[in-house]
Amino acid sequence: MTDTNSLDVSVSNDGERILCKAHSNEVCEQCHMDWTEHNALATTLKQVKDLPPPNAPNPVRNAQVNRLKEEGNKYFKQVNYTEAIRFYTMAVELSWARPLMSEKSSRLF
């Protein structure tokens, strides 16, 4: 699994953003790269950790989100961005999918 050979990427000095290796651009037309979405995801995930849960916290789901996020971080450090993005995306989607139904049903007359 050495997909990353084809990816000429580097990580920003703060270690938090993916950039093209040749020009250190987040978006680079010459390298045909656009990491804005991934970098935004990574930023979002940092905030998710600190956000208080909006409704009743769901400990099972929160644990799942954290686990996915940690998997993503692990792959990120291994420079396996493809896998990192996959796990980050799953974590974000899961954390966005908080249950809103309970609030709605409690409003029924």
Helix (H, G, I), strand (E, B) or coil at 99: coil
**Least distance between Zn ion and beta carbon 21 (Å):** 7
**Least distance between Zn ion and beta carbon 37 (Å):** 17
Nearer to Zn ion, 22 or 100 (CB): 22
19 contributes a contact to Zn ion by CB under 5 A = no
**Least distance between Zn ion and beta carbon 18 (Å):** 12
Nearer to Zn ion, 26 or 71 (CB): 26
Contact 49, 68 (CB under 8 A): no
- Kindly state the tokens that stand for 21: 């290796």
Stretch that binds Zn ion, among 18-26, 44-52, 73-81, 92-100 (CB under 5 A): 18-26
Contact 48, 54 (CB under 8 A): no
How much helix, strand and coil, in percent to the nearest 5, is found in the chain? 55, 10, 35
d(CA 89, CA 93): 6
- Binders of Zn ion in range 20-59 (CB under 5 A): 20, 22-23, 28, 30-31
Write out the residues near Zn ion by the rule CB under 5 A.
Answer: 20, 22-23, 28, 30-31
